[in-house]
Chain A
Amino acid sequence: MKKRWISYPYLLWMIIFIIVPLILVLCFSIFISTDNGLQFSLNNYKRFMEPLYLKVLWRSVVLAGISTIICLILGYPVAMILASKQMSKKSFLLFLCILPMWMNFLLRTYAWMTLLEKNGFINKILSFFGIGPFQLLYNNAAVILGMVYNFIPFMILPIYSVMKKIDPSVIEAAEDLGANQITVFKKIIFPLSLPGVFSGISMVFMPAVTTFVIPRLLGGGQFMLIGNLIERQFLLSGDWNFGSAVSIVMMIIILISMAIISKYDKEHEGGQLW
């Protein structure tokens, strides 16, 4: 079975549709067209360092960071409960936890629009008790809620798959040696679950920091995040050079954090979707 040539169609595909496009993005970000043809320039990167754009980057990182922390706080216990041996119908419950992840992303976001809007479901319930109506949409909290709702399965799944592999005899041994439940958690369960936590953090943070749909639909567009910034450069203002520079910065940030996280997650067992 030495037929390497059968992979050549893919290699060609890979060069044309993966490598060349990324090189083009890089070129657009570092060359600007002037009267004397193309010229090398880092102006687009410098422009990104202006306070206006750094604020956008900062806001994206903060909102995605808060969402990631909330996902971790809410998701960790879920993973722990699912991985504990007493739970019956475990695989069905796990299936329920990750099923929403396969529902169309836009529909999940849209579902919250209908709940949060001014004469939506939540405001109707509140008015039943004589309070409201409140403007629940178009603020940071709505964006964070949308991110948590959309990405929490990505936190539960990797933590669960790591926890499931913890050898129960290790926990029993600790208990036999007199450790109480808090010590067992602190000294055994939590450290052993860290690879899952790291890959969960990356799987939530990465899509959250780059999304432009959630801020557009739930944030109403006035809350510009870095994804919206890129989208605008390409579809509205037509400034491809600046848009490419922002994309390159974002790509580098994400690939570096991926590399750091995969160091902690050496066996790649946390990242699997099935």
Chain B
Amino acid sequence: MVKNIISRIYLFIILLFLYAPIVILMIFSFNDSKSRAKWNGFTLKWYESLFSDPDIKKALYYTIIIAILSSIISTIIGTLAAIGIHNMQKWKKIFIMNVTYLPILNPDIVTGISLMILFIFVNLKLGFTTMLLAHITFNIPYVILSVMPKLKQLNKHLYEAALDLGATPLYAFYKVILPEIMPGVITGALLAFTLSLDDFVISFFNTGSGVTNLSITIYSMARRGVEPTINALSTLMFIVVLILLFIVNKRTSKDTN
């Protein structure tokens, strides 16, 4: 009994440590003073200035466009890749999977600078295209890793049965394989979308000519000092991530059951 109470108190303290900074940040996004310590009354003016700030609007636009494009492209390439890799001979499969793990295991900064070197080497101007290519590159492995387990569960005779019953390979793919692996595909797409929304390090090295995402904007603002509009921005981003996670979580718990 005593042990249980101590456990609960300990857990509470850790959760306090984890959430107090976020909650304080959120509360002060409604504070009518630039100070982070004094409460001057409720206001929404930081949200207003957030929505009227052209830099943030542009960054938001790029963040969302890149997240959507990179998650769609990486889901298509990654899903096809997973199916192909699944049917390869063992040693080839092991080799390709090891390379696929590289962007996940490698420090972000190494992935970031290596892509930057490539883009500058081939004379591709750093900007929207390079950032998109970089995001697709680090998203594909996560899609492959989400789809692979579903392929392993798939009964391989299903596809053959469909072909025997006269389905064309393409028709069999759409009607038999795709519905079976769909949960993995959607989880991978959502994961890619979230990772792309959140990325800083790789984007930081692979962007240029005025193209930024929200993380880069926050970094440059934070480097200049504390700014209440960032508080407002964090509150909104936290809510969006919460909603996204809720969807992903619902999906994965449905999958495992």
User: Which residues on A are within 8 Å of B, measured CB to CB?
Assistant: 1-11, 13-14, 16-22, 24-25, 28, 74, 77-78, 81-82, 84, 86-87, 93, 95-97, 99-100, 102-115, 117, 119-121, 123-124, 149, 152-153, 206-207, 210, 212-213, 216-217, 227, 230-231, 234-235, 240, 243-244, 247, 250-251, 254-255, 258, 274
Task: For the complex of A and B, list the 6 residue pairs with the smallest distance between their C-beta atoms, beginning with the closest.
Answer: A7-B84, A10-B81, A21-B114, A124-B37, A210-B107, A111-B21
A114 touches B25 (CB 8 A): yes
B108: A residues at CB distance < 8 A: 207, 210
A120 touches B234 (CB 8 A): no
A7 touches B81 (CB 8 A): yes
Taking a contact as CB atoms closer than 8 A, the residue among A149, A247, A258 that contacts B105 in the complex is: A258
A119 touches B35 (CB 8 A): yes
Interface residues on B, range: 35 or more
B21 touches A18 (CB 8 A): no
Taking a contact as CB atoms closer than 8 A, the residue among B28, B35, B159, B237 that contacts A103 in the complex is: B237
A104 touches B109 (CB 8 A): no
A210 to B219, CA, bound (A): 17
B200 touches A213 (CB 8 A): yes
The residue on B at minimum CB distance from A111 is B21
Taking a contact as CB atoms closer than 8 A, the residue among B103, B160, B205, B230 that contacts A110 in the complex is: B230
A102 touches B36 (CB 8 A): no
B117 touches A21 (CB 8 A): yes
User: Which residues on B are within 8 Å of A, measured CB to CB?
Assistant: 4, 7, 10-11, 14-15, 17-19, 21-22, 24-25, 28, 35-38, 77-78, 80-85, 87-88, 96, 99-100, 102-103, 105-111, 113-118, 121, 133, 136-137, 140, 144, 156, 159-160, 169, 177, 194, 198, 200-201, 205, 214-215, 218-219, 222-223, 226, 230-231, 233-234, 237-238, 241-242, 245, 249, 252
Within the complex, the shortest CB–CB distance from B242 to chain A, in Å, comes to 8
B177: A residues at CB distance < 8 A: 1
Knowing A95-B249, A104-B198, A107-B25, say if A24 contacts B121 (CB, 8 Å): yes
B214: A residues at CB distance < 8 A: 104
Within the complex, the shortest CB–CB distance from A169 to chain B, in Å, comes to 21
